[in-house]
Amino acid sequence: MDSARLADLVEASDSDGLIRFIDGVCAAREWDALGEIRHRCVQAESRGRQLFGVVQFVDYRQALEAPPELAAAVLVDGAGRFALGPLWEVAASTHTWDALAPHLGSGRMRQLVAAERALRGDEIEGDLPADVLGIPYTHLPWEPEYPVALYKSDRADFPSPEPPALQPLPPAGDAPVADDPESEDALFGVVRTWVEESNGTAEVATVEGPAPAAVRALGFEAGDAAPVGFDTALAFLAWAGANGGAHGSRRGTPVGRSAAWAVVAALADLEWPADPDQVGRAGTALEWWLWAPSGLVGGWHLGLAVSDVTEGLAWAIHARDQLEAPVPEGH
């Protein structure tokens, strides 16, 4: 490593130059040098240099590419707040459970990494608690194949489930509004980050009637929809729960999966954490729809409606986020 060059870049607060320098160090797999870069940047920050983003980038690259013991070293609560994704998900995308597990100290981090690696096909053996997410590590037969994050040195891809073809939403009359705060809170919880950390909006409604009537209760007279299976609905709920929308922090696929399960548990009045078999039976018994307002283009969107024919209840959510906040009418 060219220490003199590094010193110059740090003192100049040359973030672009430091990023290129880090690229070279990682390409050469000089992991001790990566630690030295971080140390010098942190020291420089104490002297007023603006290098917070560079420190975050070092942690991200270490989690992504360094040997397991070094990748695990940055997996601590609060680290990587502004990285492309949570560092435990980043590390688990490129390291197996067996490689990372011996180096993970935090019980919370162990559970999150295990949950991500389980979704990627690893067997999580041993008596590992599951109290952080409240769901098992085992992929259940009634679950979809959840799309997982793809992390690269300079970008990340978060694929969404394949959407079905939508047709005009069936007409529905007005239906009495029902009171179900637990279910509405669970549905809103899936996209809470879109609203609280980004530009997003979310509305949830409960009615005594069919699913199209719940969509109408949200104020939409027209839209497009398609009935879908429980597995498809679960995949979209998990995708939404994993993402941070346009500007919020990504929460990770296992967190999204847990949020999706929590929705089913709330709709079916199951205690949390819920028995997996009960969740599967309850979710399969419900009728699920994906829907979108007419003319919706781009951005992040979750339109879901679900009905319990036995109870005569239906719920709907419309959540939307965009890179730029919408301009209010008249401005």
What's the pLDDT score for residue 329?
46
State the average pLDDT for the chain. Answer: 93
Tokens, residue 202: 């979310």
What amino acid occupies position 211? A
Residue 219 pLDDT > 60: yes
- Check: CB of residue 263 under 8 Å from CB of residue 184: no
Burial class (CB in 10 A: 0-12, 13-18, 19+), 82: exposed
Angle (deg, nearest 10), helices 3-11 and 31-45: 30
What's the pLDDT score for residue 325?
62
What's the pLDDT score for residue 222?
79
Residue 304 forms beta bridges with which residues?
Answer: 290, 317
Domain residue ranges in the chain: 3-156, 161-321
Residue 330 pLDDT > 60: no
Neighbours of 306 (CB within 10 A): 25
Residue 318 pLDDT > 60: yes
Q: pLDDT confidence of 326, banded at 50, 70, 90?
A: low
Q: pLDDT confidence of 66, banded at 50, 70, 90?
A: very high
Return the closest-CA partner of residue 212 out of 307, 284, 310: 307
What amino acid occupies position 110? R
Q: What is the pLDDT of residues 228-269, one digit of tens each?
A: 999 999 999 999 999 999 999 999 999 999 999 999 999 999
What's the pLDDT score for residue 296?
85
Q: What is the pLDDT of residues 84-143, one digit of tens each?
A: 999 999 999 999 999 999 999 889 999 999 999 999 999 998 889 999 999 999 999 999
Half-sphere exposure (CA, 13 Å, Cβ side) for 87? Answer: 29
What's the pLDDT score for residue 294?
86
Burial class (CB in 10 A: 0-12, 13-18, 19+), 289: buried
Percent of the chain with pLDDT over 90: 84
All residues at 6 or more sequence positions from 138 whose CB lies less than 8 Å from its CB, including other chains? 118
What's the pLDDT score for residue 189?
98
Tokens, residue 261: 């399960």
Mean pLDDT over 26-49 rounds to 91
